[in-house]
Structure formats: structure tokens, C-alpha cells
Chain A
Amino acid sequence: MSSTMPSSNNIAQARRTVQQLMIEASIERIKVSKASADLMHYCGEHAKYDPLLMGIPASENPFKDKKPCAIL
């Protein structure tokens, strides 16, 4: 498909794409090693408060069906 005269719509869109890419190209990035270390640190700090990781005692489990116990 060839067009001799691209519509002004296409040009406006292309200009917007370039402007957006300029914003994204200009950000400052930190090293993956630092980013990963920070995420691992966050996980480590919060692991002990993570019920799904640590397990939930039956008495504190709001979703566990409570069945009456019969002492025989």
C-alpha cells in the first residue's frame, strides 16, 4: 500500500510517538543489580508477616470452617 501524501493525521500521530519516546528515553535508570537487591530486601523484610508464606494457625484462620469437637 503506497500513499503519495500521508494524511495530516498520520503526521500528528508520528509526532506524538516521537514526543512520547523522547520522554521515555530521558529517564534515569538504576542498575538491575541494585533494583533486584532492593526487591529481595523488601521480600525478606516482609516475609515474616506474610500469612501465605508462613502458614496460618487454625485458631487465627477466618476462612477455616470451625467444627465442634466432641470429647469422647
Chain B
Amino acid sequence: MGEMDTLKKEADGLKAQIEAGRKAVNDTTMATLASGVAAAPRVQLKNRKTLKGHLAKIYGLHWSADNRHMVSASQDGKLLIWDTYTGNKVYAVPLKSSWVMSCSMAPSGNLVASGGLDNMCTIANIKGASPKTLRELDAHEGYLSHSRFLNDSEILTASGDTTCCLWDLETGKQKVIYKSHVGDCMCLAVSPDQNTFISGACDSSAKLWDIRDGGCKQTFIGHTSDINAIAFYPSGTAVITGSDDCTLKMYDLRADQEVNGYQDAALNAGVTSVSLSSSGRLIFAGYDNFNCNIWDSLKAEKVGVLSGHDNRVSCIGVPDDGLGVCTGSWDSFLKIWN
């Protein structure tokens, strides 16, 4: 009993120390500094393609590293791989469980991953004559919310069991388990240098992890509800989070705190998805209210909107070459804009 009290006092003391440390370097706001920067042009993107083929809500999409192909996941029980230049479907991967919540493609383009309420991450090889299941990664004790390949032999997963995990695809076993969140992990993003990754959870915090040693290096607080979406700034020195509290935040890793916030009193829809243009200047955020808002990441002003979906925008992605942005929706369509 005495020890619990002592530990609680120690924890409170350390939290106060962290807060003081953050305050000590908080000498200005990005909004102030960015007031001198030229405004981003009013962004008017056109819907260039609508990809039709799914028969139910789309829950995830991920661009291939070749900037042309893309995988999408729907609760119609399929992964579809698209050639976005022609709008054609190249492969269809049937899923054992239709309760899919996410999908991803390996940088090589050889493998795709999917998972959801089955608590598993299923890896399929799409380069043979027909898609073949390679592995079923089965150890999470909660739903699979997100996954990202590091390469053809390693994948990171985020789960409703509050952990994230690095898997070895040769053996199908867990290599590293990342434990620290106290709420369901909803999203993850890998740093450009692939040494760290960031996770967002229902405990309203985002955490930065060392991929190899499994340690949590930093925790970012401030959101007041689930963090559903997370992305690295292209410089690798900041992250953007999107939350059910209807706001997005930018956290700088070296200042260890929030440096910008993106909110609008008129907006009372949760953020479901987030992606950045190639310079980082534009943030594309999908919301529950069927729209995607475009924010100037420096000035924290809304500079555009993508409207056209008839239901929630559940996923967004910008390919590595930055030539467009794709939105995926519960209305079963994917739209490409630029």
C-alpha cells in the first residue's frame, strides 16, 4: 500500500517535470512565426477518377511505392488492387473474414496485408498467377486496426489489444511487442528513415517508438479523444494526428510538444484519416461528415475542401511522388484528386 502511494507520487512528479520541461522551450507559436509566410494558394483539386468496384464500405487504402497501383479494403470481403492511371482493377483478393479494418502494400509491390475484427493480419502474395495467402499473423488479442510493411519480411501492426507489434514474415512470429498505450491502438506511421514509428490510440495519446528495441521514446498528449489517424511530416521531425475530438495537431519530435492545431468551431465531426502533400505544406484530412478538408500546415488555415462522397471519408493517401490524393469512403468509392 505504501509502495503504490510512493509510485503514484513519483509518477505525478515526473509528469510535472515533463510539463515544465516542455513549457521551458515553448518560446513562441508556429502560428506567430508563420504569419510572415506567403499564404498557400487556394487549393482547388478536381476529381480526376472515381474507382468503382467495391460493394460495401471502404475501410482502408494504401498506395504502392510505384505511385500507380493502390490496394483498397472493403467490408464486402475483398481487397482490390487498382491501376489508378487506367482505373482498372488488376487483382481481387478474397478475404476469409469480411470484417476488415485496414490494408497495406509492401514497398516491393509483391505483398498485401489485411486485417480487422478477426484479430489477425493476413499476408497475401499478389505476384503469382493468382493471389495466394502467405501467412496468417495470429497473436493479437484484439482487432487489427492498422499495418505497414517495412519490407517483404517485416510488418508492423497496431491492435485494439493496446499493443503494436513487429512480425517476422519468414517465421510468422512476433519479433518485438510495443507496450505502453492504455487504450486501443488505432493507427501507425513509419518514419522516413525507418528507425522509428508513431502510433495513435484511444487513450488520446500518440507515442514514438524505437522499431528495433521496442522502447517508447516519447508520448504526445493534448487530444481529448481517440486518435484515429497519424502521419509523419516528410522531414521526419514532426507528426500530424487526427482525432475524434474533431481536431488535428502537429507535434514536433525535437521540441517534444504540440506546435500547431487545426480546428474550426463550425466543425463538429471527428477526423478519420490524414495524409500530407509531398512538401508537407498541405494536410488532407477526412472527416465523419463526408468531406475532406485541406489545411495549410504552417498557418493552420483551411485552404480547400474535397467534396463528392456520399458517406464518411474513411481513408486518404498521397503517393510518394505527390501527384494526387486518393480518398476512400463508406459510400464504396475511391476518388482521385489533383
Contact = CB atoms under 8 A, between A and B. Distances in A.
Say whether chain B's binding surface is mostly helix, strand, loop, or mixed: loop
A50 B322 contact: yes
A52 B45 contact: yes
Contacts of B10: 18, 21
B3 A11 contact: yes
A23 B34 CA distance: 32
Contacts of B219: 20, 24
B322 A42 contact: no
Q: State which size class the interface on A falls in.
A: 35 or more
A10 interface: yes
A44 B234 CA distance: 13
Contacts of B235: 38-39, 42
20 contacts: A14-B4, A21-B18, A22-B14, A23-B217, A24-B14, A24-B218, A29-B21, A32-B252, A36-B34, A36-B252, A36-B259, A39-B235, A40-B298, A42-B237, A42-B279, A49-B279, A50-B322, A51-B338, A52-B323, A53-B279
Interface of B: 1, 3-4, 7-8, 10-11, 14-15, 17-18, 21-22, 24-30, 33-34, 37, 40-41, 43, 45, 48-49, 68, 84-85, 180, 215-219, 233-235, 237-238, 252, 254-257, 259, 277-282, 297-298, 318, 321-325, 336, 338
Interface of A: 4-6, 10-11, 14-15, 17-18, 20-25, 27, 29-40, 42-44, 46-47, 49-53, 56, 61-65
Given A20-B216, A35-B259, 12 more contacts: A14-B4, A14-B8, A18-B14, A32-B255, A32-B257, A43-B279, A46-B278, A49-B322, A51-B322, A52-B45, A53-B282, A62-B323
